Chain A
Amino acid sequence: MVYTSDLRIKNLLKEIHISIVDELKASNLQEMLHFRIFDNVSEDNVLWEDGGLTFKDPSTDLPLGSNDGAWYTIEDGKDVPLVVIEGTYGTERGQFGDGQMNRFSHPFAVAKLGFIGILLTPYVGESYVKDNGANECNNEYACMKYAYVRKIIVKSAIEISKAGPGLYLVVDAYEPEMLKRLVIEAIKSRMKKSNSFSKIRGEIMLKMENCAGTYNPEKRSLQFVSRVFDKDGREMADTVGRIYTHNYEALTTSTKRDGHGLLGKTLAQSELYPGKEIYSIFVRLTKEDMERLRGRHSKEFTYVLSGSASKAVCLDDLIFLDKDLEKRLRAILRQNLHKKSEKSLISKARDALVNNIIRINRKGNPITRQVGQRSLNDITS
């Protein structure tokens, strides 16, 4: 069966389209704007040039996630995207955290190709859960928690939009008028008619800025590694890292969809540090796991393991000066972290990476200033 969240988004887009066409009649542009949408997800997965809703990232030529619908114009017989939408009601369906990253990659390539990619999602959702609801709804019938759109998504989208050539906008699914106005002004702009495209873009960007606030991943994330060291213990210039705790099972079980989220995270992360090299450090994957993942040829892993967004390294690519820490990490390779999160161990690993106790077995481009090596006990005590 098709998930209802997808159906809801597609139904909403169709109604917005009809409303747009009605309004465009006043400026006689209704025949210029076309709309592409499918019932079947399998058709969303077809590349745009073949009639689908999937785009390739121009920097890697690799396809990213599919979208739910697109408005386009026809120029010289070719369908040229105008506004492409990926939508999700995840914040109303229990996606409080990383689950939201599953969709981040979908409009990414659209923006990188110079068009307008939209993530259509409720900025705030009431997500009903089985226990521990918010004060106003925590009774014997229902427990509700608020889920907010992840700031890393909004912040990265802002950076993508600033860098251009296209836009990556996050629009609230409960503000369909905003999306409608954007599409109308975008088509007027493309058709060189007088328009208020800048105004509506500014309104959406302002809302995104207000949402992202002063978000700083370095302060927020337990897994962000502010500096990394090469095999000779030299700090690598213009390089940061991020620890990923996915293991092979998490990345290959379809119900977990972690591969999807992983791709979203690595892309979002790369946009927050333009010009820096990023190491994606998989502390629960071995070389053998990496090879097996490569062999699966899935869209997500191909991108993460060979894309330009980051360099992927695994546990076997790390040099541990603290052998006990290595042993402890190896001991949780197959553990279900949903049952026991091992946050303090991951935090220790991060501190060890930042402080030259764990090194990456690569030759880096060193910076001139070098820091001394501290023991793990010094760091954590």
Chain B
Amino acid sequence: MEILHRNFGFKIVDGGRALGKMVEIDAREAFTLSLVHGSPYLINSVGFSLKGRMEVFIHRGVFQNNKYVYTPGLFGRKLDLSIGEGDSPYYICKRYPKLFKGKKYILFKEIGKDQLSNIERQVHDSLVSEECDPGSFLLFKIMEQESNLEPFFEYLCCKFFGAKGYFAEDQVPWFQQSYKGLTGGIPDVGAYKIPSLQELQRRDILPYGRLIQELSTIFIWSDTKQGENIESHSEVVLGEVKISKSQKLQALQQLERYAAVRLADKAYAVLHDERSPVKNCFGLIAINDDLMIELDEAKNALEVDNDLKKDDEVWLANYAKFYILANLSFEKISQFIDERRRVLGKSQKAQYRSYDLIESVVTCPMIDLLDFVEDKLECPSFGDV
């Protein structure tokens, strides 16, 4: 609670005897928290978490001959294999408009090591009996065994990098399997500077949040803040999170493998209780004695393969385009594919498949895509959002 308060200014409020101390945030911050940490909104008895819903690619192009290795998630799939409504914020807003408005409260619940963690129903029902609206609460579980600390640190890192102008994420499309003989796994945090997103700033339609997935929330929460610059150079940052410095060696081993790809500009070990630098070429992200997130830069830069980086810049810009397109309804996305196929000299289809979507997006210049999206952008009228 204190970490959230001190680092991001979140307000700690007293919920009385029944609820205890809580953190009050707005709907936009709640969205980010649920997306990365996984805290479920208690809109029903099993909870509704945003984590893992908005995936587009499983792998990064550099590991896959520069191919786009797609998965349903952000965009949906129907039984007949055609694309359809997915788990984009637009459709989540349609299903659960409450998530997108009003104040939200983070309810912290400790779970002992002998207790099972599926307490959503119990907490939901207790809120109902207290005559509280459960839909205004997010459940933050604190496990005695610390097993869920990793996503919390991922959340802190995403917020931290977001404030520095990066677009961050925790479900990083970087599945490094037998690449040049190295199997590195999946980094816990990725943060990117994507120069083509400067165009969003020029048009004053930057999203409020700085998760890459939040590029899909422009339809409802576009940022009116001025002065935040999207930089003109690209950058890839990776982070490996461990729940304590006792796992430093494992974190470093994984970072070594990611670094060997020669794509990341910077890489950090995220060890909240580590105080000394971890290694010359890797930085450290920790929580200091004042509970503030602290970043210690590496002494030496990582080696980067410029050809690889060039390819990855294109891949990242295209990756971002998918999230921008997801601000629209499925009907409008189909219209976009229709228009792109006209440009590409291809005939229209009654239904489109995922590969039609991929082709339409990756062949479309960012400016054209933004023209289309901006023109069609509308906040859905789903009741009283």
Q: Which residues of A contact B (CB under 8 A)?
A: 1-2, 4, 7-8, 11, 14, 17-18, 21, 35-40, 42-43, 46, 51-52, 89, 92-93, 124, 126, 128-131, 136-137, 139-144, 172, 174-175, 255
Contact = CB atoms under 8 A, between A and B. Distances in A.
B44 A18 contact: yes
B81 to A, nearest CB: 6
A7 B53 CA distance: 8
Contacts of A128: 58, 67-71
Interface string B119-147: 00000000000000000000001000001
B334 interface: no
B58 A14 contact: no
A175 B63 CA distance: 33
B380 interface: no
B69 A130 contact: yes
Nearest to B363: A141
B155 to A, nearest CB: 12
B8 interface: no
Nearest to B48: A14
Contact of B78 (A40, A52, A174): A174
5 contacts: A7-B53, A11-B87, A18-B45, A141-B362, A174-B77
Contact of A43 (B63, B117, B150): B117
Given A1-B170, A11-B52, A136 B65 contact: no
A2 B49 CA distance: 14
A144 B355 contact: yes
B116 interface: yes
Contacts of B257: none
B70 A142 contact: yes
Interface in B178-206: 183, 186, 188
A222 B220 CA distance: 57
B79 A1 contact: no
Given A137-B355, A255-B177, A4 B171 contact: yes
B47 interface: yes
- In the A-B complex, the 3 residue pairs with the smallest Cβ-Cβ separation, listed nearest first, are A7-B52, A137-B355, A130-B64
A126 B354 contact: yes
A8 B354 CA distance: 18
B344 to A, nearest CB: 11
Interface in B19-74: 38, 44-49, 51-53, 55, 58, 63-73
B289 to A, nearest CB: 28
B355 A17 contact: no
B183 A14 contact: no
A39 B358 contact: no
B5 interface: no
Given A4-B73, A92-B71, A14 B46 contact: yes
Contact of B116 (A4, A43, A140): A43
Contacts of B117: 38-40, 43
Nearest to A131: B65
A1 B69 CA distance: 20
Contacts of A143: 67
B44 A7 contact: no
B118 interface: yes
Nearest to A42: B147
A37 B73 contact: no
A160 to B, nearest CB: 25
Nearest to A6: B52
A92 B55 CA distance: 13
B223 interface: no
Contacts of A17: 46
A142 B116 contact: no
A40 B69 contact: no
Contacts of B148: 39-40
A1 B188 contact: yes
Given A39-B148, A130-B69, A141-B67, 8 more contacts: A4-B171, A8-B73, A35-B46, A39-B38, A39-B49, A40-B117, A40-B148, A144-B354
B228 interface: no
A57 B175 CA distance: 34
A18 B116 CA distance: 21
Contacts of A142: 67-70, 355, 358-359
A336 to B, nearest CB: 10
Nearest to B51: A7
B353 interface: yes
Contacts of B353: 126, 136-137
B51 A92 contact: no
B152 to A, nearest CB: 13
Nearest to A176: B79
Nearest to B357: A142
Interface in B149-171: 150-151, 154, 170-171
A141 B64 contact: no
Contacts of A4: 52, 55, 58, 71, 73, 171
A40 B147 contact: yes
Contacts of B53: 7-8, 11
Contacts of A124: 81
A140 B64 CA distance: 11
A39 B148 CA distance: 9
Q: Interface centre among B47, B58, B151, by most A CB within 10 Å?
A: B58
Contacts of B177: 255
Contacts of A2: 51-52
A232 to B, nearest CB: 46
